[in-house]
A and B are shown apart, each in its own frame.
Chain A
Amino acid sequence: MPEIFGIPTAALFGQLLIGLINGSFYALLSLGLAVIFGLLNIINFTHGAQYMLGAFTAYLLLNKLGIGYWPSLLIAPVVVGITGVIIERFMLKHLYKLDHLYGLLLTFGLALIIQGVFRNEYGSSGQPYPIPEQLSGGHNLGFMFLPNYRAWVIVASLVVCFATWFAIEKTKLGSYLRAATENPALVQAFGINVPRMITITYGFGVGLAAFAGVMAGPIYQVSPQMGADLIIVVFAVVVIGGMGSIMGSIVTGFGLGVIEGFTKVFYPEASNTVIFIIMAIVLMIKPAGLFGQR
């Protein structure tokens, strides 16, 4: 069996794949956090719970209504996005003039509520979600076995990430968004409805989290706590990347996923903590984060 640094290549590529999968979720989630933070100045602690809500929406659609994976991939983000819009309209809206910390505390409370309700209903254990038929099986690439579904997750999240980047950096709507991030009062003076834009942005960011949740279902199982620990890692990813740039979130998300994957091969004891250690090192050297402006 071929080896690199004394490690079988199959194991190495296997972990690379897992790293890319985790990285896909880090990228999607940190992207949503960055977009929301840019306009709302709120760190959305509910993000992990909304990721879980996405997975559960897909799970319930399948088991209660018989609606499969592909429609869910669209329906779940819309449904969860609408709940996000409601949260923004009725709660977050009242916090913009206050210290940013209150937004963090409110969304933390919301996360506790959502996760608690689902834990009461479904317990702590995971519910299986089947891989869609079209993507079952996999390909033998010679050096490793590549399950189709995992390849799909990586490709789909890359596409969504770059589409978001394109929409924000290259389109007219995106330019309004970036302008409103810099100076909301001025953009409003030009006749653009900034409050509505804020609402839509929050709904979109939350929808991204739900989209990630639907994709995660067949890989990690659907459980009430699936987003709770993940969101903390994503916070670390956001601190490492700095929230200034969209591309930065994507690159950092995938990069850290891969580093975490390789850590599992070379020094498994540190695989849970490696991202936090990198965060500490980055803060010592470049406190603003790798792609941060300030």
Chain B
Amino acid sequence: MKHHRIAFLVMVAVFVLAPLAMYPVFLMKVMCFALFACAFNLLIGYGGLLSFGHAMFLGTAGYASAHSAKLWGFAPEFAILFGTAAAALLGIATGLIAIRRQGIYFAMITLALAQMIFFFYLQAKFTGGEDGIQAVPRGRLFGLVDLSNIWAMYATVFAVFVGGFLIIYRVIHSPFGQVLQAIRENEARATSLGYDTARYKLLAYVLSATLAGLAGATKAIVFQLASLTDVHWSMSGEVVLMTLLGGLGTVFGPVVGALAVVSMENYLAQLGAWVTVVQGVIFVICVLAFRRGIIGELARLIKKPL
């Protein structure tokens, strides 16, 4: 997989050099969403399961990480771990319910479960309702590195993103990933070969939830905020958009998609609700004429999977 190695090095170089030209806070946002989208892509791109409720993992991990860092004084590494674990638990609970149906029903069920979680957080005391959890302390990483320094924070987010990305890459190219793709292509055949497809799907779902949680927990520490925005269904739609635009089932697509969508939101922010309209238009164009996405088209040009 030589071209994968090259593409990976290009991606690393971009995120190492980009702070020279762009705001580090913007880039950290991109990296958090890129990890989120990669985690989502693991499920849809390789497992063929479209989750329309992935915001619940991003948001849950954000709340858990923010709450533990602010009220219990957890160090940032433990806050992030705690948030990730919370998302993993939620992944197990919702996964057991959602994998009972496939295809279109799976999407509707995950959406409905995420909406239930949204209403729970809307009413729960510890989330601070509409205000969210604000002024979350960034703290000192391993008791040594002060994360209020922007470059220390940047390096941490970079490490989390690259680590998460490599885990996902490893999973996709493992025997487990191969079985998952076999289930996506033909579940009945995978069953007849003796694979317990429900367990594979559940594991993929929980892995995806956990890594989405890692992104959400990190994001809460970076922005020192956990709010309802991250649990809302529009966030679930956004991660679908990022992955679709970048390229479903490609390794690097979600990263490019996240960069594109986050940039668009930044530049169009003053246009208010037009952002939603633009997102909708991108959805329609992608589905009708651009189903491979940016990286998918690029891969077709160079005739190698990316």
Residues of A within 8 A of B (CB): 37, 43, 91, 94-95, 98, 100-102, 104-106, 108-117, 119-120, 229, 232-233, 235-236, 238-239, 269, 272-273, 276-277, 279-280, 283-284, 287
Contact = CB atoms under 8 A, between A and B. Distances in A.
Interface of B: 50, 52, 97-98, 100-101, 103-105, 107-109, 111-113, 115-116, 119-120, 122-123, 233, 237, 240, 244, 272-277, 279-284, 286-288, 291
B97 A120 contact: no
A98 B287 CA distance: 10
A102 B104 CA distance: 10
A117 B112 contact: no
23 contacts: A95-B287, A101-B103, A105-B287, A108-B240, A109-B282, A109-B283, A110-B283, A112-B283, A116-B273, A120-B272, A232-B112, A233-B112, A233-B115, A235-B111, A236-B108, A239-B108, A272-B119, A276-B112, A276-B115, A277-B116, A279-B109, A280-B113, A284-B97
Main secondary structure of the interface of A (DSSP, over half): helix
B119 A105 contact: no
A275 to B, nearest CB: 8
* Most chain B CB inside 10 Å of its own CB: which residue of A91, A232, A238: A232
Contacts of B100: 283-284, 287
Please provide the 6 A-B residue pairs with the shortest distance between their CB atoms, ordered closest to farther.
A109-B283, A112-B280, A113-B280, A276-B116, A116-B276, A116-B277
Given A37-B104, A98-B291, A235-B112, 18 more contacts: A91-B284, A105-B283, A108-B283, A109-B281, A109-B282, A109-B286, A113-B284, A114-B280, A115-B276, A116-B275, A117-B277, A120-B272, A120-B274, A232-B115, A236-B108, A276-B113, A283-B100, A283-B101
A111 B120 CA distance: 25
Main secondary structure of the interface of B (DSSP, over half): helix
Contacts of A110: 280, 283-284
A15 to B, nearest CB: 18
A42 B105 CA distance: 11
Contacts of A104: 50, 52, 104, 107
Contacts of B274: 116, 120
Contacts of A120: 272-274, 277
A269 B123 contact: yes
Contacts of B115: 229, 232-233, 236, 276
Contacts of A277: 116
B97 A100 contact: no
